[in-house]
Structure 1
Amino acid sequence: MLQLDGIVLEEPGFRLTADWSLPAGARCAVLGPSGAGKSTLLNAIAGFVVPKAGRILWQGQAMDALPPGKRPVTILFQDQNLFPHLTVERNLALGLAPDGRITAPMRTRIGEALERTGLAGLGGRKPGQLSGGQQGRAALARALLRARPLLLLDEPFAALGPALKADMLALVAEVAEAAGATVLMVTHDPQDARRFADLTILVAEGRAAAPVPTAELFAAPPPALAAYLG
């Protein structure tokens, strides 16, 4: 279980609170207007933003003192965070070893991850030689190799067309289910939330509300969500 216990996030001109828990294995959308704090919330869970108050716990253990690399978290950003001068294989190797050195067992695991994400045979290419969808698959393959129980998606597929984005979300769901991972996905698109997430967190008016069933949220949207949807 992921628990945000009395969290307060503050920056100049910005304040966000969160006090809720999310069950392990859940797929949860994080929805709200631009600037409300969706990415900031994910960055706090990942360890890149330090809360002003409160605690972040995973399976009952506080993560606040852990640096980002030691947390049970993988985060995918919009730019995929692939190194352009490295091959796909070496980019994926960074998910297994910080120095990126590839051993024979690692090469086997990388090959399996590439095959699982539809990139078999493309390990020798550099990111610039891949399409946008293939780059997203490469980033997801690296997340798969990291095998962390918390997967945070900060709109990594926002630049893709509707059909390709739907394919990527289906692949994330498949990978997450197989790994038993908990997924939080920032999105501006209500359709993404409906398609992917059983639960949704509404971030608006200085508060990240507790997760609620996605269908129920859209069936009777609170005023902040109704205003956002228009």
Structure 2
Amino acid sequence: MILEDIRIDQGGRPLLSLDARIAPGEVLTLMGPSGVGKSTLLAYLAGFLAPAFTGRGRVLLNDTDLTRLPAEARRLGLLFQDPLLFPHLSVGGNLAFGMPWKAPGKGTRKETRRARQEKIEAALEEIGLAGFADRDPTTLSGGQRSRVALMRVLLSRPCAMLLDEPFSKLDASLRHEMRLLVFTRVQRLGLPALMVTHDEADAKAAGGPVIELGAQS
């Protein structure tokens, strides 16, 4: 993923500028104090920049300029501080939400649904939550909700990942577990990833390049 001449302004005042290249399976970490535009940058990349800000510059992924596409077509997986699971859906329903439908072809719609259910069960087993498909997400622990949120993103088959301080609200014992889970899958799937964080331990665990953003005067 290439971030080419990215510039973000707030009310006509320059807020952030960035040029970077992120290799497949690599995590580029942006660090800096609050107010320098880290999360605003992710919003620009994802296609939902707030009206108070203006942005320009190209985001190239697989030779496609994402800034020319609507947000839903950019295929960027977003992981936030909060898991943001849908309370009206089961754990399995949350995982199914972002999964793309395949054309049934010669099979029936029922067979396609069964295949999706098998993928959900396999995904839950992979993150140590086998048999949780029918569970209410409000009954899960914080670490379990975070794992479901991660797998929901991965099942949507993103082409790149945007990580907005995804470990900041986890206690110390869970941070190591989730860092390992996230970064291992990013590397295994060959996904370029951009993470913003205040935590140097996050950057160290990611193992990729780090860019320090200073406060603007």
Q: Does structure 1 retain, via aligned residues, the 8 Å contact 2:8–2:55?
A: yes
Structure 1 SS opposite 2:135 = coil
Q: Does 1:144 align with 2:154?
A: yes
For normalisation by structure 2, the TM-score amounts to 0.86
Alpha-carbon distance in structure 1 between the residues aligned to 2:139 and 2:14: 40
Q: Map of 1:1-230 to 2, 5 A cutoff?
A: 2-12=1-11, 15-49=15-49, 51-97=54-100, 103-206=113-216
Distance change in 2, residues 1:167/1:103 (3 Å):
same
Q: Does structure 1 retain, via aligned residues, the 8 Å contact 2:30–2:211?
A: yes
Q: Does structure 2 retain, via aligned residues, the 8 Å contact 1:113–1:144?
A: no
Alpha-carbon distance in structure 1 between the residues aligned to 2:213 and 2:120: 36
Q: Between Structure 1 and Structure 2, how many residues are aligned?
A: 203
- Pairwise CA RMSD: 2.0
Alpha-carbon distance in structure 1 between the residues aligned to 2:24 and 2:80: 22
For normalisation by structure 1, the TM-score amounts to 0.82
Q: Does structure 2 retain, via aligned residues, the 8 Å contact 1:87–1:123?
A: yes
Structure 1 SS opposite 2:129 = coil
Percent identity, aligned pairs only, is 39
CA deviations over 1:27-70 (Å, ceiling 9, x no partner): 22221111111111111111112853221111232111211211
Q: Which letter does structure 2 place at the counterpart of 1:83?
A: F
Q: Which letter does structure 1 place at the counterpart of 2:28?
A: C
Distance change in 2, residues 1:20/1:184 (3 Å):
closer
Deviation at 1:116, TM superposition (A): 1.0
Alpha-carbon distance in structure 1 between the residues aligned to 2:196 and 2:55: 22
Structure 1 SS opposite 2:213 = strand
Q: Which letter does structure 2 place at the counterpart of 1:155?
A: E
CA deviations over 1:192-221 (Å, ceiling 9, x no partner): 111223211222245xxxxxxxxxxxxxxx
Consecutive unaligned residues of structure 2, counting only runs of 5 or more, are: 102-109
CA deviations over 1:169-199 (Å, ceiling 9, x no partner): 1011221122111122221111111122321
Consecutive unaligned residues of structure 1, counting only runs of 5 or more, are: 207-230
Structure 2 SS opposite 1:107 = helix
